[in-house]
A = this chain, B = another copy of it.
Amino acid sequence: MPEATLVIPLWADLTAVGLGGVQGALFASGFRGERRLDLLGVAIIGIVMGMGGGLIRDLLLNVTPVTLQSNWYLLTATLAALVGMLLAGVFRRMNAVIVGLDAVVIGLFGAFGTGKALTLGLPMVPAIFVGVCSAVGGGILRDMIMGLPVAIMHVGSLYAVAAGVGCLVLAGAHALGAPLVAASIACIVVTAVIRLLAVMFDISLPEQRALYRRKVAVETSAIPIIKP
């Protein structure tokens, strides 16, 4: 397999990291628990959302985390988190923009994850799995660190499903011989479109069957910027 297929351009990677950092800060600034987040807490959530996907991808692939090979990733994520925090009010008024950017970010992380996995020789199913983990891993880590129930586990707008279908398109096109760049762009577009349609038309997966009653003291929050 040629090395060249592995290269994710730094600007694309940093764009995803920066957008993730802003999303993290917006989430954190909407958070209100018994104890308050301090500035560091907001920065941590920004870093987790911006870099978590890439870290999880590289851990699963057992390669040295690329986000730690350059100063730019951490600087970008932290700066984006601080900007996101300070301008949270402005961003909130541009809800549509945020939801749109978020949909693109999921697509970017999914494409980077599945693409890297395929170029490392993983079979199709685990390559898609790695892509989905990259796309939603930052959000899962965020929820776990904040002590919230993991948003994507619960009935809601298709988030992981959008990433999954996008990554499936990438892996399928790659298997059929399409160039990786074209397949990645298709992945990003498909993911973003499914996610946006799900938000617009409030589509969700069916609830699981045969629920038994057992109370757990959780009050949840999911993605506040979308359903305030």
Contacts of A36 in B (CB 8 A): 154-155, 207-208, 211
Contact A219 B209 (CB under 8 A): no
Q: Which chain B residue shows the least CB distance to A37? A: B208
The copy count of this chain in the complex is 3
Contact A218 B74 (CB under 8 A): no
Tally chain A residues at the interface, Cβ within 8 Å: 82
Contacts of A149 in B (CB 8 A): 33, 35, 146-147
Contacts of A31 in B (CB 8 A): 211, 214, 216
A224→B209 CA distance, assembly (Å): 17
Contact A39 B205 (CB under 8 A): yes
Contact B208 A71 (CB under 8 A): no
Contacts of A153 in B (CB 8 A): 37-38, 40-41, 44-45, 145-146
Q: Does A100 contact B (CB under 8 A)?
A: no
A145-162 interface bits toward B, Cβ cutoff 8 Å, 1 = contact, 0 = none: 111111011111000110
Contacts of A71 in B (CB 8 A): 123-126
- Contacts A38-B154, A205-B38, A216-B31: A69 and B125 contacting too (C-beta < 8 A)? no
Q: Does A68 contact B (CB under 8 A)?
A: yes
Contacts of A220 in B (CB 8 A): 33-35
A124→B68 CA distance, assembly (Å): 10
Q: Does A200 contact B (CB under 8 A)?
A: no
Contact A33 B208 (CB under 8 A): no
Q: Does A201 contact B (CB under 8 A)?
A: no
- Contacts A41-B153, A123-B71, A208-B41: A32 and B64 contacting too (C-beta < 8 A)? no
A41-80 interface bits toward B, Cβ cutoff 8 Å, 1 = contact, 0 = none: 1101100000000010011111111011111011100000
Contact B85 A122 (CB under 8 A): no
Q: Does A221 contact B (CB under 8 A)?
A: yes
Contacts of A74 in B (CB 8 A): 125-126, 129
A104-138 interface bits toward B, Cβ cutoff 8 Å, 1 = contact, 0 = none: 00000000000001000011111001100000000
Contact A140 B148 (CB under 8 A): no
Contact A125 B75 (CB under 8 A): yes
The 5 closest A-B pairs by CB, nearest first: A68-B126, A41-B153, A35-B154, A71-B125, A38-B205
